Structure 1
Amino acid sequence: MESNGWEDPRSLGSTSTRGPGGAPGGGEPAVDGDRGAGSVEHCPLHLSSCHECLELENSTIESVRFASAENIPDLPYDYSGGLEGLDDDLRPERDERRVNVTGKAPNILLYVGSDSRDGLDRLQQVRSALADCVDTDCYTLYHLPPESALRDPWADNCLLLVIATAEPVPEDLCRRFTAYLSQGGKLLALAASFTLPGFRVTSKTPLRDTVQTLVFCKADGSPVRLSVLSSGCVYEEGPGEPLGPGKLRGHLDSEDGDRLLVQVPFGTHGGEAVLCQVHLELPPSSPAVQTQEDFNLLKSSNFKRYEVLMEILTTLGLSCDAKPAPALTPLYLLSATEEIRDPLMQWLGKHVDPEGVITSSKLSLKFISSYTSEIEITPSAIPVVTDMESFSSENFNFEIYQQNLQTRKLGKVILFAEVTPTTMSLLDGLMFEMPQEMGLIAIAVRQTQGKGRGKNAWLSPLGCALSTLLVCIPLRSPLGQRIPFVQHLMSLAVVEAVRTIPGYQDINLRVKWPNDIYYSDLMKLGGVLVNSTLMRETFYILIGCGFNVTNSNPTICINDLITEYNKEHGAELQPLRADYLIARTATVLEKLIDTFQDQGPNGILPLYYKYWVHSAQQVRLGSAEGPKVWIVGLDDSGFLLVHQENGDVVTVHPDGNSFDMLRNLIVPKQR
């Protein structure tokens, strides 16, 4: 076995490992005086040899892993073997989340055929799709090259084998895969030529790389209809008899009803396979997707694609439970300009209590010069580091933010967190006291308790631009008399922040009344939440905003739109960053507010209508049986105007109704 930079296993001291025949280390008998007492010699191991050697291999991996954990990459290994010789104080602790009822190591092995460029691309696509479905802290995904599939004893350390290649699988490999199933293994074939008795794969060239409608039947019998990318093959009856029909199945929604997905029980030890001839592993942005129409159809079904994939994985014995929330991190107090730093720290010194704490009704912020891991962080008590020199983040480039923030007030003082419950609460204790010219904004990479309108939750995956901005509006001003317009201005600012970048003006990003950011009129990729408080003559408004920048899931992101635009137009627009767009959005918002205060609604409505999705849209008011109306615009207060069949024009309030875009309804929002 190659050392790969591992430390000498003999560092385990008195631990010994017995090989075949009782000789230490599995080699020749030890000779007294050859080595120090208790030392062990580990001879080369042949992975395809006898059972005793395989046990020794597992034991050696466990021992070396414990001896030098920091230098050892993750390997497929068997938790059940090789620890008997260790003293209790040397026995490595097991990660209980990685142990499963089968007793096997939590390994998912990915076979993608030859190591060609296409094969490596498939490997990345399959790995990415599965990693979005299962907790990668509980399962490990490994590439299974053809030579390893033939040579190595992987079957005993494999919870799931995934075959994702249209290349013919060699007969000797087919026998190994079938033997794995007969021993109780689980297998998923994705657009693969591999099949089992009772079925054969038949080519239907007109279906190849086309978008089709799949009707998928879940284990409980409920159907799921979704758009999928077909491999160009279907399953037909073949030689041999399957053990029996499985509960999962899927067919084309067509006259032929071709079978595209079958579940096949195998053998007498619980073996099971799901064979699939649709590309569940490919994202809608894949080069295999040929047209904009196909991209739109697949993106609209992307959530269902994951629903189907997780149903399959769950049926095959894996857990697709939600991943645990990431640990909370401290806040950092940053200032976008040097001239504001000293006044900020002076103000802070006058307003914290003797313990350095500012307390509000929602949480307490404890301001500290530096952070150590001993300092506790809870949703209601968060430390704030004031030393800017110690700040660094892989996900937020502060220099990019500074360079692109071109405001007089907005966004000048930043509370930044890698992970926080919600940015909407972070400014609560500061917003009424801090001077308005300091322009507070809270920015996070992840939220664990993101908020939407009403009782809605807001998903906050990595890659989403998340912020809450404080805006102060005089009551006796054009915008102060029309506060509902604030959410429209923020939605418009996000769209303008992207579409005013040179070359990006045709990226199909739009606004949807009352508070959403959309791709065309098809999919939501962002939203706005506004909380306002009137104190004396000023509205203190917290504008929460989240929009997808780099995260393609669970719906779509801005960089997906850029990728599709480049593909369609042969362009080379670069992907965008969250820090860059948050700064640009604050800059655009300040300009829109200034325009509104100078010119009123008419100053911004032409731009708003340019980007909104509702022109001449027909909807029904209240329910599917409600009166038919046509959307005509916004009224003077920012509420939606609709034209009824009898000629009347009525106003619909944003906080009482919400669009169901799929059915063209206006339905009451739960409060």
Structure 2
Amino acid sequence: MLLTPIYIAMTFIKTWRIRSFRARLLEFLSGNTSVAFCKVPENAAETPTLSSKLCTNPKNAYLCDLLDYTNASRICSMKPTQCIEINDWVTCAGGLPLGSSDISPVTDLDVEVLFECEMEPHEGSSHHDIISLESMGQPVAWKAGSHLAIVLKTNIEHLSVVGFHFIGGEFIIDHKLPVVRIQTVQISGEPNKAADVSMRGLRSDIQQGLKQLPELFQWSVHAALLRKLSKVVDIKSDIRNTTVEMNGGTDQVMDTTPVKRTVTLADVSTITTKSLSPDEEFDEPVETIKVDENVKVQEKSPEKKSKEKSEEKGKELVVENVTVEIQHNITPKKSSLKLDLRKGTSQLSTSLLNISSQIKSVTTHKRIISTSGPKKTQPQIDKIPEIKEENKNKCSSPQSTSKSLKSSRPLVNTKSPNILIYSDSIVARDNLEASLRKVLDCDRYTLYSVSRDSLEAGAWRGRAALVAVAGCVGRCAPLLLAHLLDGGRLLALCSDLLHTVLPYYKTAEVRENEIVQFSYDKWKSVKMKHHIFCYQASPAKKQFSTESDRQPSKYTGHPGHEMDIQILASEETWRTPSLLQATDAINNGIAIFSQIHLEADPSDYLGEEGMISNEARLGILHKIMGDILGLHVKDPKEICNLDYTMGYFLGNHVHKLSLVDGWCPPAEEGTRVQKLDKLTIQWCMRGEEPIEPPSATFLPVCLYECPENFSTVEYFDNLTSVSMGRLVVYADVIESTTHVVGGGTLAHGVAAVARRQLAARGRAGNAWLTPPGQAAVSLQIWRKMSPTLSLIQHAAALAVVRAVRTDPAYEHLDIRIKWPNDIYYGRDVKIGGVITSASCLDDDVILHIGTGVNISNSVPTTCVNDIIFEYNKERGTNLASISIEKFLARYCSQLERILDYIDTEGGLETFLEQYYQYWLHDQEEIRVKSKDSDTPIEGTITGVDEAGWLRVRTRGQEIKVAPDGNTFDIMSGLIAPKL
């Protein structure tokens, strides 16, 4: 009997809570507002975005209010109302996508809601926990990708119940699919009925599958069919949307023939296919141009075209040192500012402000897409039978030659891996670099110690994951402030930069290098040197009335920006700040200011007592770098130095011995030691011991043994070249493969391969990361003097892409060339690069080509095998991963093939045909800025010339951009001087 009153009371309480919840929802939904219910897993890599990426206006969303917030979910309102255009979605008629009934018990359908579900069923759910789709409302349309998205219509009563249960725990719908987001939206358009011939069969297969008995139903097959149908509808919708509306006239399909039209950037908006999440893009995006109804599109007369062409002829300006800015759509970068879900409500306002600023800080640049590309001649395939034979089995799908028109970012963070270090003291700079190397994952980042001139030049802007400074920064302070306000990360140790970022923090008393005690997080009463002893905010008041006067939490002195200030640690005697965090609430830039000498080892001035303080120092740096600044870190105890290893000479044994005898005949004691520019090699015969261990400058190479970590069988089985890569010097760990082939005269085609390089270099001396899993090779190539020598680096980049994509199984992978020498996945993610140098020997030119491509290493960006895995996941295919050995063999074979025909009759045209097939820059609208002028020149990329220089058409003339002396950064849209 006692249970009945308890049950009644619980039911009453639940009903009351739902009614209260409903009242708040009604309040939230009043006006131009949307409500979002989001799951936030505790192990999430980052906070989910405020609005769904499926909406047409997520970048405009800003946070209004918070209804509920837990470690696992949040409910918030946002303005303006989030909109979804469903013309490229699939209709839910006929039971799609989950077998739901077309008839719903819900009436008065006045609220439109978006559901986003995981595509992997939650097997631990019981049937009692599952909520059917039709019980929540009337399904309208759906889209499948990395997640399943469904739009349905319901009413406020059902939305209240759904939201109440959503925040109560796991929310599971049909087929045990967990729901991760529920969001009110406003829909427009009509979903695709999937009635075309190309869709009808897929729709029928899906419906038949849903009719199977539960024990026969296979969700993985069903999910693959949903993705496929959604993909087909997406492509068909894009084709239909390729129309131009003018002066209220009827729609006409845009002619794809190249017609010159005068359309300004202000009149054009770029429409791209939307993805289900920031981590997922469909492989065949189509960009269209929508012209305002009042815009007049003028076609130049043939006479005017002819006149302009004649004026352009003969006007060729060569610009060697330029700045070029590319205008194109930029996918919003993921904020690295993590929302700490474990700090409770005390951190709520700052966290929510950061969520809002993720949306408000996005800037979109416009890019005009032209249907015309560089002039391409027909390849002389009959002159290169090897290529013709290889392409016999290739599919003729248009996917194999489509251009990457928009960002494809399904895999990784694309932030720059550069970390810049500056100090006016060489000792402090070296100590700071050494300290950061002890906590950062150096497989992900390159650390550069830069000069004051380099810092003041500002070429690093937008290309640094972190700028760390110690001491005085002088005239660099405004640039560092701009970097912070643009969303950058700063670490300032004992630096005057604080007075620029937060001018009202002043020094009351200076006692440099005073040893004090402070506490931060779990580190209590740590002894360390302070730069300034008495240091605090100094308002106009002569006396501080409250602690908040002494330590203000906001600074609004930078127009358009608001800085949140948080004291992380204070010196224990005077309670003045020791560690201070400043966060820009608009663009999420973060600066950490330390009056502690975190760069210096306390053991140097505290003796044995300093060992404990040093352990705390590294722990504090580890926490700041990882938890606050959002960088990838490693436990200092786990970081160990790599040892150099023996080398192995691989290839035809007779040929190897013949070359070694020519390079260095045996000395009296029988050893064969060859001295190169930066490396000494000992060629070790069978049973011969090295005269010294491997090091940065000494490499013992075995001639009769094979390495454990490199499959010679797989490499030579895939190698089809005559000389390129037929002889290989391999080492697990080496300073740089370039030191082997670039330091002396060896032979044409000799290669050096390494599993790890400790001091590899890219163009202009930039550091090149070589983590395990990267294919790193240097080749020595002998050529006769030729006009096409300057195309070698472009040929090597083409060989990299063809090494993967000429295999029919991998032809659809969106791996492309970014001029002049980078390899990209889509438009945003760099996965490799090429560097070339040359020297002359009589009539021969000896070229050294260094190539690094991420094959199975997911850091620092992504790799080929990640791309293959994602491709398999999206399309239900089963493509095998590629080994480093197979890639290197195919690369050497492709490079030899390209170089063999590039100097033949018609070979240059064939090369350019293939090069344009894979490059990224057709008709890019750019701005060119020379060092002699502050005013950029607008132009359009038209291709490359016979020397590999970039051709840019500007008003009245064509200019050329040299591949050296400039950087071509698509991600930031800027060509700028190198660091």
Question: Normalised by the shorter chain, which TM-score bucket?
Answer: 0.5 to 0.7
Distance 1:237 1:579, change over 3 A: closer
Matches within 5 A, 1:260-299: 295-296=409-410, 298-299=412-413
TM-score, normalising length from structure 2? 0.38
Q: Distance in 2 between matches of 1:123 and 1:237?
A: 15
Match of 1:356 in 2: 672
Match of 1:488 in 2: 794
Q: Distance in 2 between matches of 1:323 and 1:612?
A: 39
Match of 1:421 in 2: 735
Distance 1:323 1:247, change over 3 A: farther
Is the partner of 1:459 in helix, strand or coil?
coil
Q: Distance in 2 between matches of 1:560 and 1:470?
A: 30
Is the partner of 1:488 in helix, strand or coil?
helix
- Tell me the CA shift for residue 412 of structure 1: 1.4
1:619 aligns with 2:936: no
Contact 1:631 1:642 in 2 (8 A): yes
1:384 aligns with 2:694: no
1:206 aligns with 2:181: yes
1:227 aligns with 2:298: no
- Tell me the CA shift for residue 523 of structure 1: 1.2
Contact 1:620 1:628 in 2 (8 A): yes
Q: Distance in 2 between matches of 1:202 and 1:323?
A: 42
Distance 1:569 1:424, change over 3 A: same
- Tell me the CA shift for residue 462 of structure 1: 0.5
Among 826, 847, 850, which residue is 1:520 paired with? 826
Contact 1:211 1:298 in 2 (8 A): no
Distance 1:486 1:310, change over 3 A: farther
Q: Distance in 1 between matches of 2:663 and 2:972?
A: 51
Matches within 5 A, 1:41-440: 205-206=180-181, 211=277, 226-227=333-334, 251-253=354-356, 295-296=409-410, 298-300=412-414, 311=624, 313=626, 323-335=639-651, 337-338=652-653, 340-348=655-663, 350=665, 355-369=671-685, 370=687, 375-388=692-705, 391-394=706-709, 396-429=710-743, 431-432=744-745, 434-436=746-748, 439-440=749-750
Q: Distance in 2 between matches of 1:345 and 1:373?
A: 16
TM-score, normalising length from structure 1? 0.55
Q: Distance in 1 between matches of 2:337 and 2:181?
A: 10
Matches within 5 A, 1:436-515: 436=748, 439-475=749-785, 480-515=786-821
Match of 2:886 in 1: 580
Gaps of 5+ in 2: 1-41, 47-121, 125-166, 170-178, 184-274, 280-331, 361-405, 419-440, 445-464, 466-488, 490-621
Is the partner of 1:598 in helix, strand or coil?
coil
Contact 1:211 1:228 in 2 (8 A): no
- Tell me the CA shift for residue 407 of structure 1: 1.1
AA of the residue aligned to 1:398:
T
State the percentage of identical aligned residues: 28
1:658 aligns with 2:956: no
1:648 aligns with 2:957: yes
AA of the residue aligned to 1:376:
P
Q: Distance in 2 between matches of 1:374 and 1:565?
A: 50
- Tell me the CA shift for residue 481 of structure 1: 2.2
Give per-residue Cα distances to partners, 1:447-503, cap 9 Å, x unaligned.
00010000200000000000001110011xxxx223220000000001001001121
Q: Distance in 1 between matches of 2:343 and 2:729?
A: 62
Is the partner of 1:607 in helix, strand or coil?
helix
Match of 1:288 in 2: none
Match of 1:533 in 2: 839
- Tell me the CA shift for residue 248 of structure 1: 8.3
Match of 1:565 in 2: 871
Distance 1:310 1:210, change over 3 A: farther
Give per-residue Cα distances to partners, 1:87-119, cap 9 Å, x unaligned.
xxxxxxxxxxxxxxxxxxxxxxxxxxxxxxxxx
Q: Distance in 1 between matches of 2:885 and 2:653?
A: 19
Distance 1:365 1:508, change over 3 A: same
Contact 2:644 2:694 in 1 (8 A): yes
Is the partner of 2:721 in helix, strand or coil?
coil
Give per-residue Cα distances to partners, 1:291-342, cap 9 Å, x unaligned.
x97843854369799989974746699865694441111111111x355245
Q: Distance in 2 between matches of 1:513 and 1:641?
A: 11
Q: Distance in 1 between matches of 2:359 and 2:914?
A: 49
Match of 1:289 in 2: none
Is the partner of 1:300 in helix, strand or coil?
coil
Distance 1:328 1:620, change over 3 A: same
- Tell me the CA shift for residue 351 of structure 1: 7.0
Q: Distance in 1 between matches of 2:666 and 2:44?
A: 52
Contact 1:468 1:544 in 2 (8 A): yes
Distance 1:610 1:629, change over 3 A: same
Match of 1:606 in 2: 913
Is the partner of 1:350 in helix, strand or coil?
coil
Contact 1:619 1:666 in 2 (8 A): no
Give per-residue Cα distances to partners, 1:338-364, cap 9 Å, x unaligned.
552453354356377864211122121
Contact 1:410 1:586 in 2 (8 A): yes
- Tell me the CA shift for residue 660 of structure 1: 1.6
Q: Distance in 2 between matches of 1:509 and 1:356?
A: 43
- Tell me the CA shift for residue 621 of structure 1: 1.2
Match of 1:636 in 2: 946
- Paired residues in the alignment total 418
- Tell me the CA shift for residue 663 of structure 1: 3.2
AA of the residue aligned to 2:958:
V
Give per-residue Cα distances to partners, 1:578-620, cap 9 Å, x unaligned.
1110111000000000110213421200000000000001111
- Tell me the CA shift for residue 564 of structure 1: 1.6
Q: Distance in 2 between matches of 1:540 and 1:392?
A: 28
Q: Distance in 1 between matches of 2:758 and 2:825?
A: 25
Contact 1:331 1:383 in 2 (8 A): yes
Q: Distance in 2 between matches of 1:630 and 1:542?
A: 32
Give per-residue Cα distances to partners, 1:384-420, cap 9 Å, x unaligned.
11222xx2323x2111111111111111111100000
Q: Distance in 2 between matches of 1:245 and 1:545?
A: 48
- Tell me the CA shift for residue 659 of structure 1: 0.8
AA of the residue aligned to 1:300:
T
Distance 1:362 1:251, change over 3 A: same
Q: Distance in 1 between matches of 2:714 and 2:623?
A: 38
Task: Compare 543-552 and 370-379 and name the one that shifted more.
Answer: 370-379
- Tell me the CA shift for residue 629 of structure 1: 1.5
Q: Distance in 2 between matches of 1:521 and 1:315?
A: 29
Distance 1:345 1:294, change over 3 A: closer
AA of the residue aligned to 1:413:
L
Q: Distance in 2 between matches of 1:666 and 1:340?
A: 46
Give per-residue Cα distances to partners, 1:234-262, cap 9 Å, x unaligned.
96997xx86x89998873236999xxxxx
Q: Distance in 2 between matches of 1:236 and 1:387?
A: 59
Contact 1:362 1:380 in 2 (8 A): yes
AA of the residue aligned to 2:876:
G
